[in-house]
């Protein structure tokens, strides 16, 4: 756990520090407003609630949406083939850098989930894939597209399935 926290802190960028500083500023601002309006309990409670909600949700939602905007990318599956003599699926795809900065590395993750005739179950199965495989693609420049090949193994599932791709770039 300590190594994950250390890695997270080491990978922060300048915009992350601005986000966390702004979140702390708004938290302090709303708490000060609650103190100013301490005679009016309703307003004071509202500002305390607003302060703590911004303190808890600001960093997580801000980090997620900011990194989605700064490190925008798209992935596409070119082909997928289930191998006959080995329990594996070979997935060929592309990743495109759509942001205004170069990527040092991207972790591309393929998720495999079940498919049924029930559309509600299919919706739920997308949240819990039964197989995930990841790989790292290095050095993607602005507007560059790179091809990759990912092998999903062991793959013993015999029924219908879907594969989705996503990438987390830095």
Query: Could you read off the pLDDT of 39-71 as tens digits, one per residue?
Result: 988 999 999 999 999 999 999 999 999 988 899
CA torsion through residues 34, 38, 43, 46, sign: positive
What does the mean pLDDT of the chain come to?
Answer: 91
Contact 109, 164 (CB under 8 A): no
Band of residue 107 on the pLDDT scale cut at 50, 70, 90: very high
CATH for 99: 2.60.40.1620
Question: Which of 44, 70, 96 is at the close of a domain?
Answer: 70
Do 35 and 94 belong together in one domain? Answer: no
Exposed e or buried b per residue across 137-160, where buried means at least 16 C-beta atoms within 10 angstroms of its C-beta: beebeeeeebebebebeebeeeee
Instruction: For residue range 67-92, list pLDDT tens digits in order.
Output: 888 999 999 999 999 888 888 899 99
Highest mean predicted confidence (pLDDT) among 5-9, 93-97, 127-131:
93-97
Domain count for the chain: 2
- 156 shares a domain with 92: yes
SS3 142: coil
Tokens read off for 139: 């050095």
63 with 79, same domain?
no
Contacts for 104 with CB less than 8 Å, ≥ 6 apart:
138, 139, 170
Report the pLDDT value the prediction gives residue 10, as an integer from 0 to 100: 85
Whether residue 126 sits in one domain with residue 82: yes
Residues 66 and 89 in one domain: no
User: Which residue, 51, 70, 89, sits at the end of a domain?
Assistant: 70
Give the Cα separation of 134 and 139 in Å (integer): 17
Strand, coil or helix: what is 98? coil
Helices (H), 37-164: 41-70, 119-125
- Strands 145-152, 131-140: parallel, antiparallel or unpaired by DSSP? unpaired
Coil, helix or strand at residue 62: helix
Residue 150 belongs to domain spanning: 73-169
pLDDT for 165 equals 92
Which of the 8 DSSP states describes residue 159? S
- Which of 70, 88, 106 is the last residue before a domain boundary? 70
19 and 52 housed in the same domain:
yes
Question: Are 12 and 57 in the same domain?
Answer: yes
Average pLDDT over residues 84-101: 91
pLDDT of 11 above 90: no
DSSP, res 150: E
């Amino acid at each position: 756990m300590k190594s994950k926290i250390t890695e997270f802190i080491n990978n922060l960028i300048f915009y992350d520090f601005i986000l966390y500083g702004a979140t702390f500023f708004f938290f302090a601002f709303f708490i000060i407003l609650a103190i100013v309006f301490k005679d009016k309990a309703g307003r004071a409670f509202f500002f305390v609630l607003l302060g703590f909600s911004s303190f808890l949700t600001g960093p997580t939602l801000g980090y997620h949406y900011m990194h989605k905007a700064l490190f925008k990318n798209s992935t596409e599956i070119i082909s997928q083939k289930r191998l006959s003599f080995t329990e594996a699926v070979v997935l060929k795809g592309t990743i495109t850098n759509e942001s205004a900065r170069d990527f040092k590395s991207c972790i591309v993750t393929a998720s495999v989930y079940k498919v049924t005739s029930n559309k509600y179950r299919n919706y739920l199965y997308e949240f819990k894939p039964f197989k995930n495989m990841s790989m790292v693609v290095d050095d993607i420049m602005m507007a560059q597209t790179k091809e990759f090949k990912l092998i999903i193994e062991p793959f013993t599932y015999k029924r219908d399935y879907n594969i989705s791709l996503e990438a987390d770039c830095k």
